[in-house]
Amino acid sequence: MIGEAGTTPFQKDLRRHLRERDEDRDLTRVICELATASRYVIHSIRTGELGVAGTSNLYGETQLALDVLSDRILQKRMKYSGVVAKIASEEIDEVICVNPDGKYSIVYDPLDGSSLVDVNLAVGTIVGIYEGQEPLSAGNKLVAALYILYGPRCTLVYSTGNGVHEFAMNALMEYTLVQENVQMAPSGTIYSPGGQRNQYTPGVEKFVSYLEEKGSKLRYSGGFVPDINQVLIKGQGLFMYPHLKNAPRGKLRLLYELNPMAFLIEQAGGAASNGRQRILDIEPEGIDHREPIFIGSKEDVARAEKFVAEFG
């Protein structure tokens, strides 16, 4: 028997979940519009051209790279929501003013890991939500964050500061609740190490040796969203894209990638650091600000900070 909104009676859908928790109506609208946007994004991933922006298909139509297309889909839904003031997208090099009366501003990476689609690996959308008109703010000003993971299943994980909750898309493309209040163990047995090993500093090298000696197993897909999702949903372990000899700031972007994930992981009882300080306390220096990251089980993150402090 199908319950309301296409769900069976015991499957709670995203909108009902948000309403039952008495979330702000405009915030609920933003989150639900992002969920709607993901239906179009996943359709494009599964059926769209894999061409690159600027080329044309056999009909002479200009092809859009999937990340550019995903950005347009998200922009359209955010404008339609009527409650978004400004947007900072990883695909656009300036802040977009949408609605001066909007209550929220958002930062997003519309399709992180897009270069993995043509080898059929999982990719994702990452979103941070601020109250007000300043999307280029420190992560400690975030009021909500979410990601959508386009993998074998399409899942949505969000937090508004009251725990982390996971949903899965059903056959009707509705998100139904999988689990509430995801929690992370203080230490783990998975590690996800980005960056070239021969560029690791002594401190990072010693940290990896420590993890291996305690029995941690390497799990790395090259996609930030699936790699973080594995650590979060398994409830243990650590992802890192550290400072490198040839890239002291690492690779990942503070605003669009690190802050939203740090918000979620901290809400699940984990930690996120650049090796020296809490990610969410870092003041952005610009829209392309990059930082190293150690994120996941809090004892593992603390250990990374010790190795970095002692050995660099």
CA distance 1 to 163: 30
One residue of 175, 224, 256, 307 binding ligand AFP per CB under 6 A: 224
Q: For residue 46, give every residue at least 6 positions away whose Cβ sits within 8 Å of its Cβ, in sequence order, or none.
A: none
Taking CB under 6 A as the criterion, the residue among 13, 33, 112, 166 binding ligand AFP is 112
Q: Applying CB under 6 A, does 114 fall inside the site for ligand AFP?
A: yes
Question: Residue 2 is encoded by which pair of tokens?
Answer: 């199908």
Rule CB under 6 A: say whether 128 interacts with ligand AFP: no
Which stretch, 7-15, 48-56, 178-186, 218-226, contacts ligand AFP (CB under 6 A)?
218-226
* Minimum CB distance to ligand AFP smaller for 158 or for 224: 224
23-28 long-range contacts (CB < 8 A, ≥24 apart) are 23/160, 24/103, 26/83, 26/103, 26/104, 27/103, 27/104, 27/129, 27/143, 27/144, 27/160
Q: Tell me which of 194, 203, 237, 242 binds ligand AFP, using CB under 6 A.
A: 194
Rounded Cα distance, 211 and 162, in Å = 31
**Exactly one of 102, 188, 223, 260 binds ligand AFP (CB under 6 A); which one?**
223
Shortest spacing between CB 230 and ligand AFP, in angstroms: 12
Q: How far apart are CA 121 and CA 155, in angstroms?
A: 15
The residue to which tokens 């386009």 are assigned: 150
Out of 115, 133, 170, 189, the only residue in the binding site for ligand AFP (CB under 6 A) is 115
How many residues contact ligand AFP, by CB under 6 A? 13
Which of left, alpha, beta for 29 (phi over 0: left; psi -120 to 50: alpha)?
alpha
Residue range at the interface with ligand AFP (CB under 6 A); choices 19-27, 91-99, 108-116, 211-219: 108-116
Of 50-58, 113-121, 277-285, 303-311, the window that binds ligand AFP (rule: CB under 6 A) is: 113-121
242 near ligand AFP, judged by CB under 6 A: no
Single residue of 15, 39, 72, 251 touching ligand AFP by CB under 6 A:
251
What is the 8-class DSSP label of residue 62?
B
Q: Which is nearer to ligand AFP, 27 or 295 (CB)?
A: 295
Three-state secondary structure call for residue 309: helix
DSSP state of 117: G
Say which residue the tokens 């209550």 belong to: 103
**Is residue 113 part of the contact set for ligand AFP (CB under 6 A)?**
yes
Residue list 6-45, contact with ligand AFP (CB under 6 A): none
* Whole-number Å distance between alpha carbons of 292 and 312: 13
The residue within the footprint of ligand AFP, chosen from 6, 48, 163, 222 (CB under 6 A), is 222
Separation between Cα atoms, residue 66 and residue 50, nearest integer Å: 7
Instruction: Name the residues that contact ligand AFP, by CB under 6 A.
Output: 112-116, 194-195, 222-224, 241, 251-252
